[in-house]
Amino acid sequence: LAEANLDMEVKLTDGRLVLTVPGQPPYTLENAGGRRYKFLTDAPGDFFITFRPVKDNEAETEAYLEQPQGNVVLRKRKAADVAAAAEAAAKAVSEYNGPLKDALGEYERGGFTVNITVRDGKVVMVVAGQPTYTLVEKEKDRFATPPLPDTYSVLMKRDAAGKVTALVLKQPEGEVELKRVAELTATISVDELMAKVIAAHGGE
């Protein structure tokens, strides 16, 4: 399921539906009547998700997510769509040769994940469930993150050899340092990618 930067996966685990969002703990879903399910979570407020036919195309399914910060409709992603998106993202990364190439990758702290990647030729910060933030250099290794105000910024940390090892999210509430856990590369072939997608969807 996907909408903007919000990606969710729903699986059947031990007879229960479980929903996962990158960078968050898995959520067990409890039936609340019909095709509507409640998130079993300690988060403030109630979260529900309803699986329903797409209007004017009942052969397709979408999910209606009810949450305190606003409701969202998520479309179901097909294996071919996932593969095409992954291929396009890998191509964008491989073709980028700008000054932030060495910063592209995944950063993590306590299950919270941030990706620095390339979209439409620009280096961006991607956080699940949030808008995409373009990195705008203010000074060496310090970046503004529009549309956020100037009280928010990103700082790249480097080791003695000059390699990016972490990023620091600076915000009014305090600073959060995330360690680099993976570089973004485009070393996988399209055939290998499709094989992984097919396997993830239960095989051919």
Specify the pLDDT at position 177.
95
Which residue matches tokens 């050899």? Answer: 161
Task: Using alpha carbons only, give the angle 163, 166, 171 rounded to the nearest 5 degrees.
Answer: 140
Residue-wise burial string across 134-166, b where 16 or more C-beta atoms lie within 10 A, e elsewhere: bbeeeeebebbbeeeeeebbbbbeeeeeeebeb
Specify the pLDDT at position 48.
93
Task: Give the integer Cα–Cα distance in Å for 143 and 135.
Answer: 6
Specify the pLDDT at position 188.
46
* Cβ–Cβ under 8 Å, residues 106 and 178: no
Neighbours of 114 (CB within 10 A): 22
pTM for this entry:
0.55
Q: What are phi and psi of 127, to 5 degrees?
A: -125, 130
pLDDT in tens, the chain (204 residues): 655 556 788 999 999 999 988 767 889 999 999 999 999 977 667 899 999 999 888 888 899 999 887 888 888 877 777 677 778 777 888 888 888 888 998 999 987 889 999 988 889 998 876 778 999 999 999 999 988 888 999 999 999 999 999 999 999 989 999 999 977 554 444 455 455 455 544 555
Specify the pLDDT at position 195.
55
